[in-house]
């Protein structure tokens, strides 16, 4: 499975629109950098789920989609 298919599966599972991906950067803001500690340089994918957005780390994207795909069958 590729990332595009995984995004489609997760979008359907969450019932939400895919908002794109972002890479965690060091910001210089102490609070933000502490919250993101250890995730610098990692890519996260985001969906506009309610009440809070859902984010999935890039290395977990395909595996999580495969789990939800199996549950749907």
- Per-domain boundaries in the chain: 3-72
Cα→Cα distances 8→23, 28, 38, Å: 20, 34, 28
pLDDT band per the 50, 70, 90 thresholds, residue 73:
confident
Output the pLDDT for position 72. 76
Output the pLDDT for position 71. 84
Output the pLDDT for position 58. 98
Output the pLDDT for position 27. 96
Q: How far apart are CA 6 and CA 30, in angstroms?
A: 34
Please write the tens of the pLDDT for every residue from 9-45.
Answer: 999 999 999 999 999 999 999 999 999 999 999 999 9
Q: Is the pTM of this model over 0.75?
A: yes
């Amino acid at each position: 499975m590729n990332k595009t298919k995984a995004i489609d599966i997760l979008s359907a599972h969450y019932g939400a629109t895919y908002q794109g991906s972002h890479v965690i950067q060091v910001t210089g803001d102490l609070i933000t950098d502490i919250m993101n500690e250890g995730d610098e340089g990692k890519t996260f994918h985001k969906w506009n789920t309610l009440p809070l957005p859902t984010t999935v780390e890039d290395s977990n994207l395909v595996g999580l989609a495969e789990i939800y795909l199996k549950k749907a069958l």
